[in-house]
Amino acid sequence: MMYINPMVDFILMQKLWAISISTDMNDKMEGPMNVLNMGYGSTNYYAVEYQEKYLLIDTGLPGTLGKMMSQLRKFGIQLKDIHHLMVTHFHPDHCGIAQEIQAMGVELIIGRTQLDFLESANESMRKLHDFKEIVINPRNIINENDTSAFFEKVGMPGYILHTPGHSDDSISIVIEGVGIFTGDLPFQNQLIIESNEKVDISWSQLRRTNEKRVFPGHGKGITL
């Protein structure tokens, strides 16, 4: 089973920051559900607006809670309006402040497949300064491909898919009529070190959805 060590991912992220790769901070999709890219550094974090509240997808590195709060203020979002958080995978640049956000009243929702990797991810990230160990409420574990357990409850049409290729705990979040949030799943035309077979299978799943817009964890989005 392939699983990229979160510490390796963290080191790569530090190098990316050092050469000042930046995200498009003005990326916004207008529609029935607005999508805001609140990313900083080189990583994208998305706030999806629905029924006057927000789903947050991915968070920053350990020690960046202040930066995240600054981004919320920049986009006019109050923390009380973020009801749920989902992380595409347990690497530091995507879940580093998840527990701190959860402690502030936001419910962290994870896929059942991800649960198998949480203990090892916590163990790897304990050595990182300011990292708070992630604790999951059992009621917030949802099954892949299950639209009723969570998304119907909150009034958002969607589901999650297990999409390994970057790491074996990776999921993609499909929000119908909006797009697919793929985390660090490599695009098929990228030069990658991960298993091509896993990447191809994951993209085959995603192409079978009716969604065309892809919101990645780094860089600009694409259209399928």
- Please report the DSSP string for 145-205 in residue order: T-STTTHHHHT--EEEEE--SS-TT-EEEEETTTEEEEETPPPTTS--SS-HHHHHHHHHH
Sequence ranges of the domains in the chain: 6-223
Dihedral angle computed from the Cα positions of residues 89, 92, 94 and 98, in that order, rounded to the nearest 10 degrees: 100
Q: Which amino acid is at 36?
A: L
CA distance 181 to 191: 20
pLDDT recorded at residue 189: 67
pLDDT tens over the chain, length 224 residues: 444 555 545 444 443 333 333 344 345 555 568 999 999 888 999 999 998 899 999 999 999 999 999 999 999 999 999 999 999 999 999 999 999 999 999 999 999 999 999 999 999 999 999 999 999 999 999 998 877 778 988 889 999 999 999 999 999 999 999 999 999 998 876 645 555 889 999 999 999 998 999 999 999 999 98
**Residue 213, helix vs strand vs coil:** strand
CA distance 199 to 203: 6
The contacts of residue 122 (CB under 8 Å, 6+ apart) are 133, 134
CA distance 86 to 100: 14
pLDDT recorded at residue 12: 45
151-189 CB burial, b ≥16 within 10 A, e <16: beeeebebbbbbbbbbbbbbbbbbbeebbbbbbbbbeee
> Which pTM value belongs to this model?
0.85
Token couple for 127 = 């050595």
pLDDT recorded at residue 13: 45
Nearest by Cα to 51 from 19, 78, 83, 11: 83
CA distance 169 to 64: 23
Architecture of 6-223 per CATH? 4-Layer Sandwich (3.60)
pLDDT recorded at residue 22: 36
